């Protein structure tokens, strides 16, 4: 009897550890969707922003509107349990491209963490133009920055600063937690759009940014643990007028095209974000992807953790 109980305990422990191996809790690397939206101002979806959390550090990819408050929502200061998303800890960010839906949170990301106590510059990685964007924001807020620095407020003189780094293809960042590779992607006639691959001790994560079907994304995503990819609905697309269809076909990726790409790249998990529905439901869009893809798939929502 004792042996039987022991075996049962061992069996249950094995099942539990197996389950844990697939859950975010057991992994030192977490993917936190801070914003899954598009240019459309859907109230439940902040602008595109993903946090890759490794040990005690967070690395942001894109900073659409709402990014800082979504991070705060996950932080211990506001009832969450991810200390790396304490707002004053946000100090490394990567931008896929300068389109406003992905970058309109930059002034917030520069200033709010500083006001909350960040005492080092924001390390900002983005396509050509990122340094100008940061510089112009700092100019626009000069009165605010001066008032906080020179007035009665005890503000530090580092946290408002930005170190802007212009992206090229290849490894763009490396530290003890993570290696980050940037790769150019096709996004219509937009000149500088990038995707990213994060490699940590335990996971490989690829983020597409905005992209038409692109073999480079497929190449980087092959064998990745997680592929986070934008998508639009095929059936919704059919209801668009031809002018818009031409735009979307050359700038973005349909659900059926994404299914084809994922079926070849075979990521451990495919996460849909930056979704254009045009009247289709989440279930319909999942079905449209599944027509060509039978692997694991998740429809991303703000604050989901993988
Ligand atoms: Zn976009
Ligand atoms: Zn875009």
**Where do runs of H (alpha helix) occur along the chain?**
2-21, 67-74, 100-103, 106-115, 130-140, 142-150, 215-221, 234-238, 242-251, 255-265, 282-290
Counting ligands in written order, the one closest to the CA of 230 is: 1
Which residues are 273's β-sheet partners? 230
Report the distance separating Cα 74 and Cα 24, nearest Å: 14
CA of 187 to the centre of ligand 2 (A): 7
What is the reported pLDDT for 154? 85
Residue-wise pLDDT for 28-57, tens only, equals 999 999 999 999 999 999 999 999 999 999
> In 46-191, which residue ranges form alpha helices assigned H by DSSP?
67-74, 100-103, 106-115, 130-140, 142-150
Cβ-proximal residues to 143 (8 Å cutoff; 6+ apart), any chain: none
Q: Which residue has the tokens 């064998």?
A: 223
pLDDT tens string 208-254: 999 999 999 999 999 999 999 999 999 999 999 999 999 999 999 99
**Residue 14's pLDDT is what?**
45
Question: If you measure from the C-alpha of residue 96 to the centroid of ligand 2, how many angstroms do you get, rounded to a whole number?
Answer: 9
**18-37: average pLDDT:** 73
- Looking at all shown ligands, the one closest to residue 273's CA atom is 1
- Contacting residues for 7 by C-beta, under 8 A, at least 6 apart: none
Task: Collect residues with CB below 5 Å from ion ligand 2.
Answer: 99, 210
Q: How far is CA 94 from the centre of its chain?
A: 9
Give yes or no: 304 in active site. Answer: no
Q: Is 60 exceeded by the pLDDT of residue 3?
A: no
What global pTM score does this model have? 0.91
pLDDT at 132 over 70: yes
For residues 15-29, average pLDDT: 53
Nearest to 193, CA basis, from 210, 212, 181, 180: 210
Alpha carbon of 42 to ligand 2 centroid (Å): 17
Q: Are strands 297-299 and 269-276 parallel, antiparallel or unpaired?
A: parallel
Q: What pLDDT, on the 0 to 100 scale, is given for residue 10? A: 46
Q: Which residues of 201-231 are buried (b: 16+ CB within 10 A; e: fewer)?
A: eebbbbbbbbbbbbebbbebbeebbbbbbbb
Stronger pLDDT, 36 or 154, i.e. the higher one: 36
* Distance of CA 57 from the midpoint of ligand 2 (Å): 27
Of the pLDDT bands very low, low, confident and very high (cuts 50, 70, 90), residue 140 is very high
**Do 22 and 43 meet the contact criterion of CB atoms below 8 Å apart?**
no
pLDDT score for 8 = 46
What is the per-residue pLDDT for 25? 52
Q: Catalytic: which of 62, 101, 234, 302?
A: 101
């Amino acid at each position: 009897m004792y042996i039987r109980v022991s075996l049962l305990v061992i069996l249950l422990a094995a099942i539990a550890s197996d389950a844990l191996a697939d859950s975010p809790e057991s992994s030192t690397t977490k993917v936190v969707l801070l914003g899954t939206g598009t240019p459309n101002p859907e109230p439940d979806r902040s602008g595109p922003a993903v946090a890759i959390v490794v040990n005690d550090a967070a690395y942001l990819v894109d900073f659409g509107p709402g990014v800082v408050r979504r991070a705060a929502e996950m932080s211990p200061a506001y009832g969450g349990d991810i200390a790396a998303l304490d707002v004053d800890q946000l100090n490394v960010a990567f931008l896929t491209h300068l389109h406003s839906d992905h970058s309109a949170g930059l002034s917030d990301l520069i200033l709010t963490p500083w006001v909350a106590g960040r005492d080092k510059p924001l390390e900002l990685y983005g396509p050509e133009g990122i340094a100008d964007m940061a510089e112009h924001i700092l100019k626009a807020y000069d009165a605010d920055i001066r008032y906080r620095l020179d007035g009665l407020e005890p503000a530090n003189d580092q946290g408002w600063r930005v170190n802007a780094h212009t992206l090229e293809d290849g490894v763009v960042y490396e530290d003890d937690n993570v290696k980050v590779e940037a790769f150019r992607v096709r996004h219509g006639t937009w000149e500088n759009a990038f995707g990213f691959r994060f490699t940590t001790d335990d996971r490989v994560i690829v983020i597409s940014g905005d992209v038409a079907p692109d073999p480079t994304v497929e190449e980087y995503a092959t064998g990745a643990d997680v592929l986070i990819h934008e998508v639009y609905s095929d059936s919704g697309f059919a209801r668009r007028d031809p002018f818009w269809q031409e735009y979307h076909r050359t700038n973005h990726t349909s659900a059926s095209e994404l299914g084809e790409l994922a079926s070849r790249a075979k990521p451990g998990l495919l996460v849909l974000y930056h979704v254009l529905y045009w009247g289709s439901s989440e279930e319909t869009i999942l079905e449209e992807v599944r027509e060509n893809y039978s692997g694991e798939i998740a429809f991303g929502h703000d604050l989901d953790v993988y």
